[in-house]
Amino acid sequence: MGNRAYRDRDVSFASSGRGIARLAAMGAAILVAAIGSLAGCEGDLGDADPDEGTGGDNTSTTATGPSGSTSGGGGMSGSGGAGQGGAGQGGAGQGGMGGMGSSSSSTGSGGQNDALAQLCVDTINMHRASIGLPPYGRWSGGEMCASDQCKSDSMSGQAHGAFGQCGEWAQNECPGWPGPPESMIVNCLQMMWDEGPGQDFQKHGHYINMSSMQYTEVACGFYETPNGSFWAIQNFH
């Protein structure tokens, strides 16, 4: 537009016989305006800083893959990983269950915590079976560590903040969801699965982790915060 305006003015002044000095001044003014406009555009691009979604959203999810890439999504009707979508890291925390206080982060080998971890694995395998994939084994030995990651992330407010500390290769996370945990984990995993297949990890990361053939086991960890919200992580290896 700037170049055309300059050409239009050039022809107009020349045809009317006005002085060259006025034409030059007008061209300089237009050039300055164009440079100013360009600088403004560059400034807008430089200021752009899309939110990453660090968790804490009560209906968000996040995922981290082997490369550490993450993706995120929105609310219950939104994205993979409530808050952060993608394939990778995850977890919904729960505490104060099966005789454990609200500050506890571990999932026990029995009682409600054990049942919750099994529900998590069974739900993932239900989704895998729907597309003909073999089930993940339950990585029981990694559940307490996954729950500790949930607690750590809830305290830092950063989803996937403790990723890699349990020997996992990928992780999905449900940060700060409302209870009860039995419905929370089912809803969160459904949101992740609903991302559907695709190559873009930022958009399909949770689904990619849940449907991968690179992993054989999943450990589900939970932590309940003092305010009653839950963090849940699913570690894959």
Name residue, tokens 């290896």.
237
pLDDT digit string (tens) for 33-70? Answer: 333 333 333 322 222 222 233 333 445 677 777 645 44
Q: Output the pLDDT for position 113.
A: 80
Residue 97 belongs to domain spanning: 62-236
**What are the two backbone dihedrals, phi and then psi, of residue 62, each rounded to the nearest 5 degrees?**
-140, 155
Whether the CB-CB separation of 98 and 178 falls below 8 Å is answered with no
- Which neighbouring-strand residues pair with 71? 63
Q: Output the pLDDT for position 21.
A: 38
Considering the domain architecture, whether residues 151 and 127 belong to the same structural domain is answered as yes
Query: Which of 153-167, 174-188, 215-229 has the lowest average pLDDT?
Result: 153-167
The residue among 210 and 29 whose pLDDT is bigger is: 210
Q: Quickly count helices (H) and strands (E) in the chain.
A: 6, 7
- Which neighbouring-strand residues pair with 63? 71, 172
Considering the domain architecture, whether residues 143 and 224 belong to the same structural domain is answered as yes
Considering the domain architecture, whether residues 134 and 228 belong to the same structural domain is answered as yes
Is residue 53 included in any domain, yes or no? no
Q: Output the pLDDT for position 100.
A: 30
Considering the domain architecture, whether residues 86 and 189 belong to the same structural domain is answered as yes
Considering the domain architecture, whether residues 209 and 130 belong to the same structural domain is answered as yes
pLDDT at 217 over 90: yes
pLDDT at 190 over 50: yes
Domain CATH code at residue 86: 3.40.33.10
For residue 15, the tally of other CB atoms under 10 A from its CB is: 8
Is residue 212 included in any domain, yes or no? yes
Considering the domain architecture, whether residues 78 and 42 belong to the same structural domain is answered as no
The residue among 108 and 112 whose pLDDT is bigger is: 112
Q: Output the pLDDT for position 37.
A: 34
Q: Output the pLDDT for position 102.
A: 32
Is residue 57 included in any domain, yes or no? no
Name the domain count of the chain.
Answer: 2
**What are the two backbone dihedrals, phi and then psi, of residue 225, each rounded to the nearest 5 degrees?**
-80, 165
Considering the domain architecture, whether residues 165 and 112 belong to the same structural domain is answered as yes
Considering the domain architecture, whether residues 122 and 148 belong to the same structural domain is answered as yes
Q: Which two tokens stand for residue 174?
A: 């449900």
Mean residue pLDDT of the chain comes to 69
Considering the domain architecture, whether residues 141 and 214 belong to the same structural domain is answered as yes
pLDDT digit string (tens) for 116-169? Answer: 999 999 999 999 999 999 999 999 999 999 999 999 999 999 899 889 999 999
Is residue 55 included in any domain, yes or no? no
CA distance linking residue 63 with residue 148, whole number of Å: 17
Q: Which two tokens stand for residue 95?
A: 């505490």
Is residue 56 included in any domain, yes or no? no
User: Rounded to whole angstroms, what are the CA distances from 14 to 8, 19, 39, 133, 174?
Assistant: 10, 8, 30, 75, 68
pTM above 0.85, yes or no: no
Q: Output the pLDDT for position 63.
A: 75
Considering the domain architecture, whether residues 82 and 161 belong to the same structural domain is answered as yes
Considering the domain architecture, whether residues 75 and 6 belong to the same structural domain is answered as no
Considering the domain architecture, whether residues 124 and 23 belong to the same structural domain is answered as no
User: Rounded to whole angstroms, what are the CA distances from 98 to 4, 84, 95, 107, 202?
Assistant: 74, 30, 9, 9, 36
Is residue 147 included in any domain, yes or no? yes
